[in-house]
Amino acid sequence: MDEEIWGEIEKSNLSIQSLSSIRSLIINPSTSKHIMSAVFKTLTQYLHQQQEQTLENQNHNQSHYLKLLCDIATHHRDFTRIVFDTVRSFAFSSSVNSQFKVESLSVLLTIVEHDENLGSSVAEFDENVIIQLCFDSSVSVRYWVLKNLFRFGIRDEILIRVLLGFVNDPYPYLRRIVLDGLVRLSKSVVVFKNGGLIAEGYDQAVDLFVDRNDCVRAAAIRVVCEWGQMLPDSGIGVGEQDWLDSVFVQLCSMVRDMSMEVRNEAFASLGKMKMVSEDILLQTLSKKVLGNLKERKFPGKRNAKILDLPASNAAGAFVHGLEDELYEVRRSACNSLGMLIAFSVRFANDALDLLMDMLNDHSTVVRLQTLETMYHMVTCDRLKVQEAHMHMFLGTLVDASTLIRHAARKVLRLLKLPYMKIFKSSINGLLTNLTTYPGDEADIFSVLFYMGRNHGSFAISFVTEVSQEIEPSCEGELRFDNPRVAAILVLAISAPLTHERLACFIPTKVFSFAIPFLGRIAVSLKDCATQDTLLAYLYKFSKITHVPGTESSVENDLFPVSGVKFPLHNIDEIFNQVLPLQQICDGASEDQFQNDLRDLRQTTFPLSHQRKVIVTDEEAEKNVNLILRTVAATWQLIKSGFTDEVQKTLRSCSKELATVAVKSNRLTGLLAFASQYVQVVQHIAEIWIHFLPLSKLHYRKTGILDHLLEKLDYNLRKLRYEFSGLSKKEELPILELVLVACVLRLSEMEICCNVNTLKRVRSTISEIELLCEDSHIELSEFAGELRKSMSERGYLDDGALSQEFSFKRLLDLFSLKEMVFDGMLKHIKAELSVPGNDSENPIPFVSGLPAGVTFQMTLFNVSDKDRLWLKMSVQEADLFQYVFLDLNQNGVYDEINKVTLNVPFYSTPKAASFILRACVVKEYPSEDVYQPARGSGGSKGELTVIRWQSGRSVFAEFKFTGGNQVERLKSDIFIWSCIQRRASLRTLKEDHLKKFEYCLPW
């Protein structure tokens, strides 16, 4: 087959139209080596012919042939070296133009990326030729060479001189590339200690502070920051402290620039300074020029030696940054402020006043960065909080953002509080946090544990004041369901960890009260102690030291813990295990005492193993993204036909997702989406093997393949429309999967005339183009080639498919992309029930007359844009009916909406009893499915079932039974309300209407 294709290509005299056919031969792994040799020889001869022409007459299409040579090298390892040597001869030939040389060099670098063994060959390139290209008249040539200059192994001494020569290039993007290169070169410039060149580069970067282009000024700031700090080490004889202050003030002069990018870069560079004087730092926090800096000046440049840079340039730099109108600048200023607090205690104390004000910023990102800065300060022992600060800080504990609350608690965990009053307000703030957001319980318990350990005496005083809250009720029962009680107990048991002598101030019964809460407490302290060790600690201080005497029975020898009996015969061994807990809390690793827990594990009771493990939001999101990365890695196995291995891996991924339990609504939706996505990839793996060469499934392909394609379409619809909150970047891979499903359908001759599929291809490509345009993302090779093929010769005016068009070759271009999520994702689902309906209490009905049903529905994450329908059907009688759910009547769309709806089912069958199956369905665009929904009262679009009751995509079943018609009619007032509706009269028979009028209560 490949020989026939190559024969046709040779007849076309290697025309541009035949390039796609040549590439299909190259990327096909089954193409013979003989054919590949012929292709390589023909392409090489053509390019040699082009070299013989004059530079002006050389064909501009030769870049296409270079790309084909690159494909040969990357797809056929046997030809990699010979292609590399051939293209290298083109790149360094004097008979080709500079544009062709650059394209050849680009191909060489691409080949090296696929074969690292050729990396040493790149270092041997003639650097004179590459440097000569830097001075080419073509802007695009200069731009490419300067951008890739570091990839050719050119010596640092030459690099720095070349880059400095282009700092003032007339084209701004070239200047930016050069400046970025100087920043990159700063890591190795110190090797040859050329202080003169460093000073020259610094001065040129300072001159570009007034450049007209934002990107150039931002890049110049990075050079000034990096190269300015290298000058004291370059042996040029400049004082380190004074010069670093000069660089700092120079950077401060750019924080009021009109460009957000420049201001943002200025603050980022300020945070990278390795040393600054305290008086300069204090000046950045005050708009008023300090007395000792009014007359002080710094050198603006190194070589010019002009003292023209006033210290007043630093006045109020961080004040301006924290008051900036754009949150990106405020965030950057806040971050840099935290990087500089290590230089001065006074600066840290003054900066804290500004940071506390930033906790009221309207941007969540800025508030989060402020708390991260405070966390950095507390780890450096620079956060000295005062009583005036606490009210504003504790307000973040009840912030609506989960991330903000977690970051605030992270600061509070390490904070050293000087007074009892501040400690008490902090604990009350945490308890309020617990009341408002019960889902934060584990993190709050952990913070209370650390605060009690760090403030032992304060914790005991607080627990003493509220001791009555943790006392059992008059019946002797402890309030197990009270989170506040559990929180106070956590604080109480943490106090003796500072000094064991403090345990005598806490009643021993407090430790006994904490034992029933062991599971809840252990989850929050998993970073510092195991559940076994915590249990041993509680037993020690609860003073349970022996088994009761002869009067005790076997039952009394067991201590009840959360409904489980615990043997006490080895309690002395348990006491010996308490020391490791104290070691852990003092900073020792848990590995140091794992051996000491052997005896403890032999004596503790076996806890029931929970299948699901509750993790934090960050851990869950990390685990899900890791699983999705594993799913994407299976693509090469799918293409190679290793279906069994792929299915085994994907099943493991599904099981792993099932073990993760979270309390966040966003991550609940993410887990459901990930599970659905894994299922889609499983279907693709099952389908793909039918399209592989020499597949053993060809003889049974037709029926099985159609069924698998329908399943894939169904699951893709659920993936697209059952979840809300997907970003444009996250929608693109899903839309490409839709295109793949269409291509797989159209690859089969028996279904290639499916007009709906072709419409779906065109509409999906339009969606992808719109998303790529909005997100400034290029179309993938697969989608771009499909669009091009459809527009050129694939799709005819009558809706048919051109016979010259082949979809199968497009499948090789598709690659499964890794899904990464970072936004809000909600799962749209519904729960459906009929109160009081079961096999013993069926709903009464009269055959042929409407039957009233009262549905109770709980809708999750439904918005005003979603069109939902209630579908009711009697499968045995082939009867079904749709009812539109008009949620606009309520006017409220919360995450969880509960709706009670009275619905008549008109088409009751002629039977003594029947089962009604009902479900909630969602309406989708009609071109997105293949099987249109039909039925009485249904939508004009397409419908599909959304999940209900623990995620099962099935119908709810309700039982009906007949009886005495007169009694049924008298009791069913709801049917009368149906008669009042004009539209309902057409569904009732005349004889039933007469009976109904006779029996109605007037």
pLDDT at 956 over 50: yes
CA atoms within 13 A on the CB side of 293: 24
Residue 481's pLDDT is: 63
> In the chain, what percentage of residues exceed pLDDT 90?
21
- Band (206; pLDDT cuts 50, 70, 90): very high
- CA nearest to 751, candidates 809, 813, 703, 694: 703
Higher pLDDT among residues 732 and 347, named by residue: 347
Listed range (120-124, 626-630, 728-732, 955-959) with the worst mean pLDDT: 955-959
Q: By the 8 A CB rule, do 1000 and 969 touch?
A: yes
Q: Taking residues 628-647, what's their average pLDDT? A: 82
pLDDT at 373 over 70: yes
- Band (347; pLDDT cuts 50, 70, 90): very high
CB atoms within 10 A of CB 324: 21
Higher pLDDT among residues 919 and 560, named by residue: 919
pLDDT at 570 over 50: no
- Band (269; pLDDT cuts 50, 70, 90): very high
- Band (772; pLDDT cuts 50, 70, 90): confident
Residues 6+ apart with CB under 8 A from 576: 596, 599
Please name the residue ranges forming H helices in 526-660. 531-541, 571-575, 578-585, 598-603, 617-633, 635-640, 643-658
pLDDT at 751 over 50: no
pLDDT at 966 over 70: no
Q: By the 8 A CB rule, do 882 and 918 touch?
A: no
**Of the segments 24-38, 310-324, 769-783, which one has the largest average pLDDT value?**
310-324
Give me the residue label for tokens 């957000």.
Answer: 260
CA–CA gap between residue 550 and residue 935 (Å, rounded): 78
Residue 194's pLDDT is: 67
pLDDT at 881 over 80: yes
**What is the per-residue pLDDT across 105-140, written as a single tens digit (0 to 9) for each?**
999 999 988 888 888 888 778 888 888 889 888 899
- Please compute Rg for the chain using Cα positions: 37
**What is the per-residue pLDDT across 421-435, written as a single tens digit (0 to 9) for each?**
999 999 999 999 999
Q: Taking residues 614-631, what's their average pLDDT? A: 75
Higher pLDDT among residues 44 and 896, named by residue: 44
Q: Taking residues 572-599, what's their average pLDDT? A: 38
CA–CA gap between residue 910 and residue 903 (Å, rounded): 20
- How many Å separate Cα 73 from the centre of its chain? 35
Please give the torsion angle defined by the CA atoms of residues 522, 525, 530 and 534, in that order, rounded to the nearest 10 degrees.
-70
Residues, the chain? 1002
Per residue in 625-637, is it b (16+ CB within 10 Å) or e — as a string? bebbebbeebbee
- Band (517; pLDDT cuts 50, 70, 90): confident
pLDDT at 363 over 90: yes
- CA nearest to 808, candidates 835, 821, 789: 789
SS (H, E, C) 944-997: EECCECCCECCCEEEEEECCCHHHHHHHCHHHHHHHHCHHHHCCCCHHHHHHHH
SS3 872: strand
Tokens (6 digits) for 664: 């966040």
Listed range (607-616, 777-786, 854-863, 892-901) with the worst mean pLDDT: 607-616
pLDDT at 590 over 80: no
Residue 521's pLDDT is: 85
Inter-CA distances, 123 with 62, 118, 120, 157, Å:
26, 9, 5, 15
Listed range (342-356, 501-515, 941-955) with the worst mean pLDDT: 941-955
CA–CA gap between residue 80 and residue 64 (Å, rounded): 18
- CA nearest to 999, candidates 961, 968, 978: 968
- Band (889; pLDDT cuts 50, 70, 90): low
pLDDT at 54 over 60: no
CA–CA gap between residue 179 and residue 172 (Å, rounded): 11
Higher pLDDT among residues 966 and 208, named by residue: 208
Give me the residue label for tokens 């499916």.
Answer: 754
Residue 794's pLDDT is: 53
Q: By the 8 A CB rule, do 122 and 153 touch?
A: yes
CA–CA gap between residue 499 and residue 613 (Å, rounded): 34
Torsion sign across C-alpha atoms 77, 80, 83, 87: positive
Residue 98's pLDDT is: 87
**Of the segments 132-146, 363-377, 766-780, 917-931, which one has the largest average pLDDT value?**
363-377
Give me the residue label for tokens 């887990």.
Answer: 671
Q: By the 8 A CB rule, do 872 and 928 touch?
A: no
CB atoms within 10 A of CB 925: 12
Q: Taking residues 232-252, what's their average pLDDT? A: 80
* Residue type (1 letter), 235: G
SS3 829: strand
Please give the torsion angle defined by the CA atoms of residues 766, 770, 775 and 781, in that order, rounded to the nearest 10 degrees.
30
Inter-CA distances, 374 with 227, 348, 371, 409, 427, Å:
30, 10, 5, 11, 19
| DSSP state letter for 136 | -
- CA nearest to 965, candidates 846, 848, 850, 849: 846
Q: By the 8 A CB rule, do 765 and 712 touch?
A: no
CA atoms within 13 A on the CB side of 8: 11
Backbone angles phi, psi at 551, to 5 degrees: -70, -15
CB atoms within 10 A of CB 28: 18
Backbone angles phi, psi at 938, to 5 degrees: -80, 180
- CA nearest to 532, candidates 589, 591, 596, 483: 596
- Band (655; pLDDT cuts 50, 70, 90): confident
Inter-CA distances, 56 with 50, 51, 693, 766, Å:
11, 11, 47, 40
Residue 330's pLDDT is: 95
- Band (337; pLDDT cuts 50, 70, 90): very high
**What is the per-residue pLDDT across 270-281, written as a single tens digit (0 to 9) for each?**
999 989 999 999
Q: Look over the chain and give the mean of its residue pLDDT values, rounded to a whole number.
A: 76
Q: DSSP states of 168-212 as a string?
A: T-SSHHHHHHHHHHHHHHHHHHTTTT-HHHHHHHHHHHHHGGG-S
Residues 6+ apart with CB under 8 A from 608: none
Residue 603's pLDDT is: 29
- Band (338; pLDDT cuts 50, 70, 90): very high
Please name the residue ranges forming H helices in 341-472. 345-358, 364-379, 387-394, 402-414, 420-436, 441-454, 456-465
Higher pLDDT among residues 592 and 668, named by residue: 668
CA–CA gap between residue 396 and residue 382 (Å, rounded): 20
pLDDT at 822 over 50: yes
Q: Taking residues 403-424, what's their average pLDDT? A: 92
Listed range (284-298, 334-348, 555-569) with the worst mean pLDDT: 555-569
| DSSP state letter for 911 | S
Q: By the 8 A CB rule, do 108 and 120 touch?
A: no
Residue 697's pLDDT is: 46
pLDDT at 904 over 90: no
